[in-house]
Structure 1
Amino acid sequence: MIGLQRENLGILWLLVRLWLGYEWLSSGLEKVGNPAWTGAGAGTAVTGFLKGAIAKAAEGAHPEVHGWYANLINSIALPNAKLFSYLVAYGEVLVGIALVLGLFTTFAALVGAFMNLNYLWAGTSSTNPEMLVLQLLLLTAGPVAGIIGLDRFILPVLRQRFQNKQ
């Protein structure tokens, strides 16, 4: 896997980041502009999504949604639907911005992968599998994934500051 961390792959990681960033940003902005996600009806859209996931857990011997995840939805996400609505909408926007700018790329890829994994566990495929794989590759690439981006300038400064404090 060390081959993925070569600096000459920076342009490849830039293209991956730009596509992923666009996907996250466009999805998040659509949610932020929708009152069912972040307005007067916040929580409405996410409640519908989560109830749909729970329904998929009851379908036959091999459901799209595992029982443990349906229980997690019932016990944590649904009672806090309004909070999750804002977390999802603004989380998608922030991950998108970070990936496009190459700012804290590794962290953004980790958060994005976590969101994609949750969408998959909820029984939604769409572009989630492709996005998850690409984000895992960004994680494998490490700091090189953001070398053509703001990480090139910000990470060395942060490393130096933390090393000087020790």
Structure 2
Amino acid sequence: MNGIKDLLRALHGDEEHLSREFVTAADLHRADHEVHHVAMDLAGWSREHTRRIAETARAYDLKLDPPGEPHYGLLSAIGRKTAEAVGHRPEPALLLLRDLRDLHLAASGNSLYWEMVAQAAQATRDEALLDLATRCHPGTLRQMRWTNTMIKTLSPQALASLR
């Protein structure tokens, strides 16, 4: 069962991280209303996943913190402002593409963890674990679809305009 504990701990931390990253992206790209609002919604999904993981982990005598309140990515914003001050001013569209890529990769990693949770649940015949994966994994897949769609939509104009 230690493998399942390790898996739940890792997924819990990665869902928290993804939630923070969605909030950071929403903050940094608040001028793009669709990105801002959808990213905030998707952050909420990861917070909900984190809450559900913490609840399920109790059955494994694993105490995981419930999700915290969303906070804006001050460090990311400071990092970008510093880069601008020293003369590295990437185009906003390129920053958004980079952030969407990072969000997609983080969600993809979580998706793989959800697959492992489902497989572990089936191997151990653990209904609560299977229910967790069944309820949460579709949200992660939707997060991936949104980031992928946004990348496909924004890439042509953002990248072609740099010529």
- When normalised by structure 2's length, the TM-score is 0.24
Considering Cα pairs closer than 8 Å and 6+ residues apart, tell me whether 1 or 2 has the greater RCO.
1
- When normalised by structure 1's length, the TM-score is 0.24
